[in-house]
Amino acid sequence: MVRVLSRHLIKLNLSNLSRHYHSNHLQLQQQHNLSLPGSLSLFEYQRQQLQLLEAQLIYVLDRCNNLAQLKQTHAQLLRKYLDQSSFVLTKFIRVSTKLNVSIGLYPRLVFDQVRYPNPFLWTALIRGYSILGPFDESVVVYNCMRRGGIRPMSFTFSALFKACSGLFNVGLGRQLHAQVVWIGGYHDDLYVSNTLIDMYVKCGFLECGRRVFDEMGERDAISWTSLIVAYTKSRDMEAAAELFDGLPDKDMVAWTAMVTGYAQNAKPKEALKLFESMQDAGVNTDEVTLVGVMSACAQLGAGKYARWIRDVAEKAGLSPARNVVVGSALIDMYSKCGSLEEAYRVFQMMEVRNVYSYSAMIVGFAMHGRVNEAMSLFYEMGQTDIKPNKVTFIGVLTACSHTGIVQQGRQIFSNMDKDYGVAPSADHYACMVDLLGRAGHLEEAYELVKTMSVEPHGGVWGALLGACRIYKNPEMAEVAAKHLFELDPNDIGNYVLLSNIYALAGKWDDVSRIRKLIRTRGLKKNPGCSLVEAKDGVIHEFFAGDMTHPKSKEIKEALEELLQTLRLEGYKPILSSVVHNLSDEEKERLLKTHSEKLALVFGLLTTSPGSVITIVKNLRICEDCHIVICGASKVTGREIVVRDNMRFHHFHDGVCSCGDFW
């Protein structure tokens, strides 16, 4: 028997892939229980032979890695022997889907040759369209299937719901939801219900998803997680947490969803705390979990945590050398925590890099004002076959703008479409307006906005408004602000910026007009807040004017002492950094309550002399604080790193890496 089959296989002139199969066919025979008894009928023999061939084809198909191999397999084997085997063709379409082979072309041609497709084959096609698109084709195929009198399977509905999410068409989803019951009778099917929840929440109908969830007789972790994610995406962390607490068997995905949810909702402390509980609960960690945690850590800029997370990753066998995702996330985390050197070390040790790794590194260099490194990395990237994308260009352009390299920025901006096929988006225009405006080319920046190829968004006008602040141009500021108040009426930052511009120009009437506007629109100013790490890695938070920290008294005294030293060196408070119409004494008093000053002094008081003090601030650093920290780095000999909402400032011996251009 073995010999008969072997001869048969050789006769088929099999490809390399199937020769590999050949060596395994003995094992396969055992799996399929193909030992041949003496008195086997011819029919039975043929049936078994067919079964073996099917198994062989599945084996070959499973090992196809591209369209060419798929076509070869089809040409050699399918057409000759098994074009009518729905079993094999279903596999064929599934493999095509997995390999991203456009369903509309080759797989569809194969499908259309089949005279009597079975429900599995129909479903595979629908599923293919629902994953690769065009999504509406799923529905077209489904209708054909119904007209052919084929009863849909539960998988069929799942695929269709996926297509509905892709189409963002809840109406269609509802129609199909009704059919689940009266055509399929699948209303108790866990799998169908889970995809149904997902469809509703992806279409933005969270409450409908919730209703399905509430009415389910049986739920699994997937049902819970779908809903948890929906709540985190709609920024309702309370609801998400409530669900999460009620989930009896929390698996890694559920934990990750929650951790990532906190990170994405600007609650990094909660994210890190939850990750710690996740570790305590003995749940595994994979790269997806790490991406969320690292993003949280990057937001906080917490150095101690960063090192701990790195350890966790290494212990989980996720090393940046081997894993691109982990590597790229690490680069981002380290550079946002202030250690650009560590970030670059990670970048260098990565064996595989992709556009994320390069972009993260370029953006890292840009944030730290290292324009030369950013540029040379960008050109180095050009030597690889990794294509830059829109984010890469944002990195390159912000690098230019942080150092005022106008000419090079202009050139890259005007050639990015032609040379790299990345058409400038509104974000890129914003970078460009920032670059031009910051360098003092206000008119050119305004011209650029007026001639944009895409609609300007808040970022573009905001960049112009920022430039108007630096170059004290209240007239142009009003134009920019008018657009901003229409585009982002609830963004408090724009109102504050405009009122600051008026204040700088001494237009106090306009200042109070804007203040009133803020009040009538019910907006709240977000207070300045600075984070600094104590010796033990604990992060301390300081708000502007807040004296509730236990060490407040000491901080106040030490700050007074520091300022006195600086005054001897010629420091004078920059009173214009205070944008309230107050007496000079009041202004000076207010300056001393800025959160970054409190954080600085706390750092000086509590950390060991050789270490770097890293401060993370939520708003832009003010000029007075910049000068004070500069001076502090000189008189104390300490290295001080400040991250504000724009970029990094490295203070060393009385000099800042930004060159006072920020």
Binding of DNA by 644 (CB under 7 A) = no
Binding of DNA by 356 (CB under 7 A) = yes
Binding of DNA by 339 (CB under 7 A) = no
Choosing from 73, 359, 403, 530, the residue that interacts with DNA (CB under 7 A) is 359
CB 658 → DNA: shortest distance, Å? 13
Judge contact between 145 and 152, C-beta under 8 A.
Answer: yes
Binding of DNA by 225 (CB under 7 A) = yes
Annotate 88-120 with b (16+ C-beta within 10 A) or e (fewer).
Answer: bbbbbbbbbbeeebebeebbbebbeeeeebbbb
Give, as one character, the DSSP assignment of residue 248: S
∠ CA 428-433-438, rounded to 5°: 130
What distance in Å separates the CA atoms of residue 662 and residue 660, rounded to the nearest whole number?
A: 6
CB 429 → DNA: shortest distance, Å? 10
Q: Give the CA-trace dihedral at 254, 256, 261, 266, to 10 degrees.
A: 150
Binding of DNA by 295 (CB under 7 A) = yes
Tokens found for residue 119: 């429900």
Judge residue 275's burial from the number of C-beta atoms within 10 Å of its C-beta, 0-12 exposed, 13-18 middle, 19 or more buried.
buried
Judge residue 475's burial from the number of C-beta atoms within 10 Å of its C-beta, 0-12 exposed, 13-18 middle, 19 or more buried.
exposed
Q: Which is nearer to DNA, 130 or 577 (CB)?
A: 130
Choosing from 67, 221, 492, 575, the residue that interacts with DNA (CB under 7 A) is 221
Q: Which residue has the tokens 């300056």?
A: 591
Judge contact between 374 and 395, C-beta under 8 A.
Answer: yes
Rg (CA), the chain: 31
Question: Interacting stretch for DNA, rule CB under 7 A, among 40-48, 234-242, 360-368, 405-413?
Answer: 360-368
Q: Which is nearer to DNA, 94 or 587 (CB)?
A: 94
State the binding string over 301-330 for DNA (x if CB under 7 A, else -): -----------------------xx-xxx-
State the binding string over 419-438 for DNA (x if CB under 7 A, else -): --------x--xx--x----
Choosing from 459, 528, 603, 631, the residue that interacts with DNA (CB under 7 A) is 459
State the binding string over 616-635 for DNA (x if CB under 7 A, else -): --------------------
Q: Which is nearer to DNA, 398 or 633 (CB)?
A: 398
Judge residue 66's burial from the number of C-beta atoms within 10 Å of its C-beta, 0-12 exposed, 13-18 middle, 19 or more buried.
exposed
Question: Interacting stretch for DNA, rule CB under 7 A, among 358-366, 542-550, 580-588, 650-658?
Answer: 358-366
Tokens found for residue 96: 């095509």
Binding of DNA by 442 (CB under 7 A) = no
Residues of this chain, 267-286, that bind DNA according to CB under 7 A: 286
CB 355 → DNA: shortest distance, Å? 6
Choosing from 48, 85, 226, 633, the residue that interacts with DNA (CB under 7 A) is 226
Distance in angstroms between the alpha carbons of the first and the last residue of the chain: 81
Q: Which is nearer to DNA, 94 or 638 (CB)?
A: 94
Tokens found for residue 347: 């970048």
What distance in Å separates the CA atoms of residue 618 and residue 299, rounded to the nearest whole number?
A: 10
Binding of DNA by 449 (CB under 7 A) = no
Residues of this chain, 241-260, that bind DNA according to CB under 7 A: 251-254, 256-257, 260
Question: Interacting stretch for DNA, rule CB under 7 A, among 48-56, 105-113, 238-246, 287-295?
Answer: 287-295
Residues of this chain, 486-545, that bind DNA according to CB under 7 A: 488, 491, 493-494
Q: Which is nearer to DNA, 202 or 587 (CB)?
A: 202
Choosing from 88, 291, 615, 640, the residue that interacts with DNA (CB under 7 A) is 291
Q: Which is nearer to DNA, 152 or 459 (CB)?
A: 459
Tokens found for residue 266: 């600007």
Q: Which is nearer to DNA, 34 or 616 (CB)?
A: 616
- Residue 48 Cα to chain centre, angstroms: 51
DSSP per-residue string spanning 192-209: HHHHHHHHHHHTT-HHHH
What distance in Å separates the CA atoms of residue 600 and residue 640, rounded to the nearest whole number?
A: 8
Judge contact between 514 and 502, C-beta under 8 A.
Answer: yes
Judge residue 632's burial from the number of C-beta atoms within 10 Å of its C-beta, 0-12 exposed, 13-18 middle, 19 or more buried.
buried
Binding of DNA by 83 (CB under 7 A) = no
Question: Interacting stretch for DNA, rule CB under 7 A, among 75-83, 224-232, 524-532, 572-580?
Answer: 224-232
Q: How many residues bind DNA (CB under 7 A)?
A: 70
Binding of DNA by 371 (CB under 7 A) = no
DSSP H or E stretch at residue 531? strand 529-533
Binding of DNA by 58 (CB under 7 A) = no
- Residue 269 Cα to chain centre, angstroms: 18
Contacts of 86 by beta carbon, 8 Å cutoff, 6+ apart: 114, 117, 118, 120, 121
What distance in Å separates the CA atoms of residue 199 and residue 249, rounded to the nearest whole number?
A: 23
Question: Interacting stretch for DNA, rule CB under 7 A, among 216-224, 507-515, 564-572, 625-633?
Answer: 216-224
DSSP helix/strand/coil, 49:
helix
Q: Which is nearer to DNA, 456 or 573 (CB)?
A: 456
CB 601 → DNA: shortest distance, Å? 27
Question: Interacting stretch for DNA, rule CB under 7 A, among 236-244, 462-470, 524-532, 592-600?
Answer: 462-470
Binding of DNA by 183 (CB under 7 A) = no
How long is the chain?
662
Binding of DNA by 612 (CB under 7 A) = no
CB 85 → DNA: shortest distance, Å? 20
Tokens found for residue 618: 């939520």
DSSP helix/strand/coil, 36:
coil
Choosing from 85, 138, 158, 530, the residue that interacts with DNA (CB under 7 A) is 158
Q: C-alpha distances in angstroms, 419 versus 354, 355, 380, 389, 394?
A: 19, 17, 15, 12, 16
Q: Which residues would be at the binding site for DNA (CB under 7 A)?
A: 154-155, 158, 162, 190-191, 194-195, 198, 220-222, 225-226, 229, 251-254, 256-257, 260, 264, 286-289, 291-292, 295, 324-325, 327-329, 332, 336, 354-357, 359-360, 363, 367, 389-392, 394-395, 398, 427, 430-431, 434, 458-459, 461-463, 465-466, 484, 488, 491, 493-494, 645-646
